[in-house]
Structure 1
Amino acid sequence: MRTKSTLLLLIVAIIVGFAARATFQVSHVARSRVEPNAPNPSTAAAPTGPRTDVGTRSDVDLRPLEIFYNVLKLVRDEYVEPIDKPQEKKMAYGSIRSMLDSLHDPLTRFLEPEQVEAYLKMSEGKFQGIGAVIQVVQVKQNGFTEEGLSVLSVVPGSPAEKAGLKPGDNIITVNGKMILPYDPYQRVEKLLKDAQTQQIPREKLVKILEAENDRIKNGIGFQKALDMLCSNNSNEIEIAIKRAGTGANLTFKINPATTVVNPVTWWNPKPDIVCVKVRLLNKKAVDELAQAIPEFKQKGYRAVILDLRDSLGGSLEAAQSIAGMFSPGKTLTIIQLPKSKTKPIKAAVQPADRVWSGGLAVLVNSSTSGLSEVLAASLRDNQSAKLIGTKTAGQNLKQTFVELSDGSGITITTGKYLTPKSKDFKGVGLNADIAVNGNSEQIDKAVEILSKPKGGSV
């Protein structure tokens, strides 16, 4: 009888959980990357967007707002405890989060005013939290495919880098709490469905249900986990990961902090070849490259290696300006918009002294994502520059940031970046023209090719 009553209680708890999914929930939104999508997700430079207010739209069905207003009024008038203004604001913010969460798009999210401030600082190269670009991935485990978190890249000099976190690490727990997917109940739904058609011993069913109940009760939603990882609000965060390739389970204790990224650096792997590392596509990167390219030409360099490995993405405007220093006026990308519309985006037209016409090769890897991929694809398609390294991340979703009237804001996925040849690389990435593993080996290969006696890009 104990087994039967336990099973009934668990099923009741699960049904209550299903009902709770339909209610408004308050969850925290991660300060993640804008361009690219990131992922991600995923930390990147944040483009500014328009400040907007709700207006009158004849094509918008306002009936859901009427329902929301009626519920809010009912709670305000009838709830047993007084509802003050801060509580009403919290309820409204939670409702907006839940509305956006229902899209199951981690890049479309709501930001509170203080989050907006931190978010916009990313365009200056200031990253809060552990200092890693975190992406949402599909994880297959025990016959289920669910959303999980993975490290796309690690910010140089960040707490994450110092602790030993690496790209490809799959995050299992944060502060001992297991990462939950958008729908943490799908396992239970399948289990109960299977129980109707299969002979599952009652004791085994109870044991599995108890384990699932504990997992959900003690877990943490990945949006809230992202918020913890990408903010400075915690003194220390314990992260358990499974390392890609080796399968090793490792635990790190990381103290969040603000990491400042220098967007552009360069060095000479050979006297007449310069390697330019672009970590972030922002205004500072544009300004530094605008000064550097005339200097490269004056020094008589024969070739540039543009290193976009582990690039943190950035703004479309910066990508246009940088692309214009190599292929001015050419198509940078074609944006695929809603309703099958497309919009070509051109690289900027730069003064002649800022345009590089010598040899060019581009380094890429699995952490080259979003607008860094867009830039790499445009240089390959327009300048015949070879991509050297490994396949890129395949993140090409276009994010738009909109600041709302009270200082809060939303990021929303508004399109996809295609290559100049209209190729959609979402989820598949860009293949390297010359596949090479190893950081130093990739640079050596670029130097070898650029040293050959032929002009132009390779």
Structure 2
Amino acid sequence: MSKKISLGAAAAMSLVAATITVSLTYTYAMGRFNEKVADVNERQAMYTKLSEIDQKVRQDYIGKIGETDLNDGIAAGYMAGLGDAGAKYLSAEKYKNYLSSNSKKAVGVGIRTVQDADGNMEVIEVLPNSSASKAGLQKGDVILSLDGKEVIRLSYGEAVNKLDGTVGTTVKLGLLRKTTENGKTATKQMDVTVTRAEYQRITVSSSIINGNVGYIAISEFQSTTKNQFVAAINNLTEKKVVGFVVDLRNNSGGSVEVMASVLDEFLPAVSLVSYADRAGKITVEYSSKSGEINLPISVVVNSSTYGAAEIFAADMKDYKKGKLIGEKTAGRGMKEDVIPLSDGSAIQLSVGNYTRIDGKTFHGVGVNVDMEVEMTPEQKDLLLRRSLTMMEDPQIQASVTALVKQGADVQQIPGTDSGNLDNSAAQTGAKAPATSSAKAK
């Protein structure tokens, strides 16, 4: 027998439910209000402290205050206070340089350097047709000073930045150069004045290795990379290669958009780049079109493979398009936006974490390889200085072996040495990239 609820009881129950709902809503609202009040109070404390500092400085400081420098310093300090290596403040001048650095041409002397054991700048590459090349700089030169300022007295990054400047301006480089005369090696100091000029970036190098394998090294993803990459692919395909080795070691990342356009050549119609924002919402940023390269592929990575290059490697592995060889990647997977401000300056801010196809991020974790191949410290040093030949490079040779396991009919030619890369297909651009210890300017 069914039981009936009286109208009074139903009304009472409705009243109780409404009371509970109001109570919960009130509790939530009060919690949000308290959070906002705490946030307002914290910000007010920050403004009060800054105002107090400003008052004390203007009252007692005996030096001259540069208002522009002061404002830039305050903004830079705020971003530094976030404790995020990717968070930066760019002054109007630095933001202008940032925009020009992403263009097809750069302005500088046209060399790539690494920091040597003494803290100086060792030249590991002189870019073709650059002002440095015309001034006679050579690979192996060590830069001791710039315009009379010793490199070891500057931070390495500051020294590298001094190679940049306006077209037509000059920089005086104090060099240490090894020479060989009558079979004896000696060093001599010399000064060379270089006029800064525009030069094109080279971020892609290619060659044939092991007889019939296409080798493509991508040092950074910049505006010129896609055209250089397509030229290299077409050149190697015409030579009937049986597979590709894509070298992303010491790739410092660069433009995720450019990386996606390169990756599109290898993958079918899939999602290429996704990220999770602060609320956990995942957004697909770039997808690939149909059509793909149907040859066995190995991708070589190491602990200095950063950012966009890690997304490339993760996608090749996750979509089972290629084997990863070498070492776990750096684990730098935050999406960073550069946001312009009203006065011409800008801030760089981490706004999300890039995710793999399973929704997990690789930031702080890195991307694991399919075949781990270690290198000796000596081999790593030679690789950084671009002096390690292909046949002496264990990670490259392991990548070729991986192609064979994927079905590639590789010609194993003893003694083949393809250490000198063919850049002829990539002469639409210049400048090799900067890693944490290597810069090109």
Contact 2:216 / 2:232 at 8 angstroms: preserved in 1?
no
Aligned-partner SS, 2:288: coil
- Rg: which structure is higher? 2
1:424 equivalenced with 2:377 (yes/no): no
Report deviation, 1:161.
Answer: 8.0
Aligned-partner SS, 2:224: helix
Task: Please give the alpha-carbon distance, in whole angstroms, between the structure 2 residues aligned to 1:418 and 1:132.
Answer: 33
1:310 equivalenced with 2:250 (yes/no): yes
Structure 2 vs 1, CA of residues 270 and 395 (structure 1 numbering), >3 Å: closer, same or farther?
A: same
Structure 1 spans left out of the alignment, 5+ residues:
1-59, 135-149, 166-173, 178-219, 239-253
Report deviation, 1:162.
Answer: 4.0
* Aligned-partner residue type, residue 433 of structure 1: D
Task: Please give the alpha-carbon distance, in whole angstroms, between the structure 1 residues aligned to 2:329 and 2:322.
Answer: 16
Q: Percent identity?
A: 22
Aligned-partner SS, 2:262: helix
Which one of the candidate residues 448, 451, 456 is aligned to 2:404? 451
Structure 2 spans left out of the alignment, 5+ residues:
1-38, 128-136, 144-149, 165-170, 176-190, 376-389, 410-441
Task: Please give the alpha-carbon distance, in whole angstroms, between the structure 1 residues aligned to 2:344 and 2:306.
Answer: 29
1:383 equivalenced with 2:358 (yes/no): no
Aligned-partner SS, 2:245: strand
* Aligned-partner residue type, residue 279 of structure 2: K
Task: Please give the alpha-carbon distance, in whole angstroms, between the structure 1 residues aligned to 2:84 and 2:48.
Answer: 24
Partner residue in 2 for 1:113: 92
Which one of the candidate residues 310, 320, 323 is aligned to 1:373? 310
Partner residue in 1 for 2:83: 104
* Aligned-partner residue type, residue 450 of structure 1: L
Which one of the candidate residues 153, 156, 163 is aligned to 1:232? 163
* Aligned-partner residue type, residue 93 of structure 2: E
Alignment size in residue pairs: 313
Contact 1:327 / 1:347 at 8 angstroms: preserved in 2?
no
Task: Please give the alpha-carbon distance, in whole angstroms, between the structure 2 residues aligned to 1:305 and 1:349.
Answer: 22
Task: Please give the alpha-carbon distance, in whole angstroms, between the structure 2 residues aligned to 1:162 and 1:176.
Answer: 18
Report deviation, 1:296.
Answer: 3.9
Which one of the candidate residues 210, 214, 218 is aligned to 1:270? 210
**TM-score, normalising length: structure 1:** 0.56
**TM-score, normalising length: structure 2:** 0.58
Task: Please give the alpha-carbon distance, in whole angstroms, between the structure 1 residues aligned to 2:214 and 2:97.
Answer: 34
Contact 1:281 / 1:319 at 8 angstroms: preserved in 2?
yes
Aligned-partner SS, 2:319: helix
Report deviation, 1:176.
Answer: 6.3
Which one of the candidate residues 386, 395, 399 is aligned to 1:442? 395
Report deviation, 1:374.
Answer: 0.9
Contact 1:132 / 1:160 at 8 angstroms: preserved in 2?
no
1:284 equivalenced with 2:257 (yes/no): no
* Aligned-partner residue type, residue 318 of structure 1: V
Partner residue in 2 for 1:138: none
Contact 2:302 / 2:328 at 8 angstroms: preserved in 1?
yes
Deviations 1:183-232 (A, max 9, x none): xxxxxxxxxxxxxxxxxxxxxxxxxxxxxxxxxxxxx9xxx774455443
Deviations 1:159-194 (A, max 9, x none): 9984689xxxxxxxx9667xxxxxxxxxxxxxxxxx
Aligned-partner SS, 1:318: helix
Aligned-partner SS, 1:373: helix
Aligned-partner SS, 2:299: strand
Contact 2:257 / 2:286 at 8 angstroms: preserved in 1?
no
Structure 2 vs 1, CA of residues 77 and 310 (structure 1 numbering), >3 Å: closer, same or farther?
A: closer
Report deviation, 1:274.
Answer: 0.4
Which one of the candidate residues 268, 288, 307 is aligned to 1:328? 268
Contact 2:206 / 2:232 at 8 angstroms: preserved in 1?
no
Partner residue in 2 for 1:38: none
Partner residue in 1 for 2:347: 410
Structure 2 vs 1, CA of residues 79 and 340 (structure 1 numbering), >3 Å: closer, same or farther?
A: same
